């Protein structure tokens, strides 16, 4: 057993060397992102976004998760550049058709509404990428999560990448080392990853993404606990073996409308809905991430602090190619 652990740690160290050799996607010149970027050109930008987000979350708390997920999926492809919002055209298939986005990524109509209000307030000034970053922060705050200041000044890309969306966005079936590598390539470490996954406390997953988990090792990781068996039975009602791909279930079965640290307890109990999340606690590869999971369950203030820091860090991944401020988030300017 000791020899096996030594071999595994040697493997992890070799993986770390490989990861260090991968060029990180560096952020745009930090001087171009600023808390004061719109202070003169659109001083009410945060008020406009906050007002629309308050209405949306009041109407349906799931809108908070939708906006947070949009921002995440935007930043992981080409940087935080609004590329995820582009519709398909005759010459481009956008990121909305990517495996991790199609039939599941939503909230575009809410983005349209916010953008319309911003254009009325400050025409041609606020980028769609900044809109997403601010809206994601407000989404978290409005369901009980932490506040953080959002540096702004991003530009919107003039193109999207279906290929990068398919390759760069983490998936529910990937192993822990693959996920760590994907985050590392974006300049985010394992601590950032564990903190950002905590946002699943307000998330929902499609049956297609958790079917293998509930018909696979769920019982083993939850140690055949009777209460876990009851939860598993309910999940199987939502997600049959051979149908219901688009049926959804909350990833936090207790407080799905509140941004808190409860999702980490779910992982500790072995009840994580997604295989990719549960691996942070249950697999031998998770010997370090498990400590972080335990820390955030025991100390909600530590989780909130790290989540805020990691959101800023992720938001600073910007597209270094030339961009613009789109007038309509769905299309490049003509």
Chain segment 103-124, per-residue pLDDT in tens = 899 999 999 999 999 999 999 9
CA-nearest of 295, 18, 303 to 180 is: 18
Average pLDDT on 299-307 reads 98
Of 20 and 233, more confident: 233
Model confidence at 185, pLDDT cuts 50, 70, 90, reads very high
Residues 6 or more apart from 201 whose CB is under 8 A from it? 251, 252, 255, 256, 258, 259, 260, 261, 262, 263
Catalytic residue among 47, 71, 73, 254: 73
Does pLDDT of 4 surpass 70?
A: no
Q: Is 200 annotated as a binding residue?
A: yes
Which of 7-21, 79-93, 127-141, 229-243 has the lowest average pLDDT? 7-21
Does pLDDT of 17 surpass 80?
A: no
Pick 176-313's CATH classification: 1.10.10.10, 1.10.420.10, 3.90.1150.10, 3.40.50.300: 1.10.420.10
Mean pLDDT of the chain: 91
Average pLDDT on 296-310 reads 98
Does pLDDT of 323 surpass 80?
A: yes
Enclosing H/E stretch for 205:
strand 204-206
Please give the pLDDT value at position 288.
Answer: 83
| Two tokens, residue 80 | 């935080």
Does pLDDT of 26 surpass 80?
A: no
Of 12 and 288, more confident: 288
Q: How many residues does the chain have?
A: 334
Q: How far is CA 54 from CA 61, 66, 143, in A?
A: 10, 14, 10
Please give the pLDDT value at position 16.
Answer: 41
What percent of the chain lies above the pLDDT cut of 90? 86
Average pLDDT on 209-225 reads 96
Of 9 and 147, more confident: 147
What 8-state DSSP symbol labels residue 86? P
Of 267 and 286, more confident: 267
Rounded Cα gap, residues 176 and 181, in angstroms? 9
Model confidence at 285, pLDDT cuts 50, 70, 90, reads confident
Rounded Cα gap, residues 148 and 150, in angstroms? 6
Q: Is 265 annotated as a binding residue?
A: no
Enclosing H/E stretch for 238:
helix 226-238
- Adjacent-strand bridge partners of 204: 250
Average pLDDT on 9-20 reads 41
Q: Give the CA dihedral 94, 98, 103, 107, nearest 10 degrees.
A: -50
Average pLDDT on 12-28 reads 41
CA-nearest of 72, 34, 79, 70 to 322 is: 79
Would you list the DSSP string of 23-53?
Answer: PP-PPS-GGG-BTTTTTTT-TTHHHHHHHHH
For 157, list phi and psi in degrees, rounded to 5: -75, 160
Q: What is the CB neighbour count within 10 angstroms for residue 188?
A: 22
Would you list the DSSP string of 186-204?
Answer: TT--HHHHHHHHGGGGG-E
Q: Is 130 annotated as a binding residue?
A: no
Assign domain 44-169 to its CATH architecture. Orthogonal Bundle (1.10)
Q: Is 89 annotated as a binding residue?
A: no
What does the domain layout of the chain look like in residue ranges?
A: 44-169, 176-313
Q: Is 201 annotated as a binding residue?
A: yes
Q: Is 255 annotated as a binding residue?
A: yes
Please give the pLDDT value at position 29.
Answer: 54
Model confidence at 319, pLDDT cuts 50, 70, 90, reads confident
Rounded Cα gap, residues 124 and 133, in angstroms? 17
Please indicate whether residue 71 is annotated as part of the active site. no
Q: What is the CB neighbour count within 10 angstroms for residue 320?
A: 14
Rounded Cα gap, residues 54 and 49, in angstroms? 9
Task: Let me know if the fold of 44-169 is the same as that of 176-313.
Answer: no
Rounded Cα gap, residues 199 and 113, in angstroms? 24
Does pLDDT of 31 surpass 70?
A: no
């Amino acid at each position: 057993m000791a020899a096996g652990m030594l071999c595994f740690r040697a493997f992890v160290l070799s993986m770390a060397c490989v990861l260090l050799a991968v060029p990180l996607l560096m952020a745009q010149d930090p001087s171009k992102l600023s808390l004061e970027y719109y202070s003169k050109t659109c001083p009410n930008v945060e008020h406009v976004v906050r007002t629309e987000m308050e209405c949306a979350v009041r109407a349906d708390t799931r809108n908070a998760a939708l906006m947070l997920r949009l921002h995440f999926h935007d930043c992981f492809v080409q940087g935080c550049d609004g590329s995820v919002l582009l519709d398909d055209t005759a010459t481009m298939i956008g990121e909305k058709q990517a495996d991790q986005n199609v039939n599941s990524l939503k909230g575009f109509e809410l983005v349209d509404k916010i953008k319309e209000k911003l254009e009325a307030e400050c025409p041609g000034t606020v980028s769609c990428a900044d809109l997403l970053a601010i809206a994601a922060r407000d989404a978290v705050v409005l369901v009980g999560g932490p506040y953080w200041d959002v540096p702004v000044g991003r530009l919107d890309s003039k193109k999207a990448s279906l290929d990068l969306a398919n390759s760069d966005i983490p998936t529910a079936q990937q192993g822990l080392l693959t996920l760590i590598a994907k985050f590392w390539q974006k300049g985010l470490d394992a601590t950032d990853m564990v903190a950002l996954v905590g946002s699943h406390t307000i998330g929902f997953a499609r049956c297609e993404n958790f079917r293998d988990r509930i018909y696979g090792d769920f019982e083993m990781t939850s140690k055949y606990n009777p209460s876990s068996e009851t939860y598993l039975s309910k999940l199987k009602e939502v997600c049959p073996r051979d149908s219901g791909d688009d049926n959804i279930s909350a990833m936090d079965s207790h407080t799905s409308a509140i941004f808190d640290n409860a999702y980490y307890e779910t992982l500790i109990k072995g009840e994580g809905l997604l295989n990719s999340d549960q691996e942070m606690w249950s697999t031998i590869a998770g010997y370090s991430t498990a400590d972080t999971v335990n820390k955030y369950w025991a100390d909600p203030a530590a989780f909130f602090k790290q989540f805020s820091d990691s959101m800023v860090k992720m938001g600073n991944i910007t597209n270094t190619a030339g961009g613009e401020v789109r007038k309509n988030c769905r299309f490049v300017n003509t």
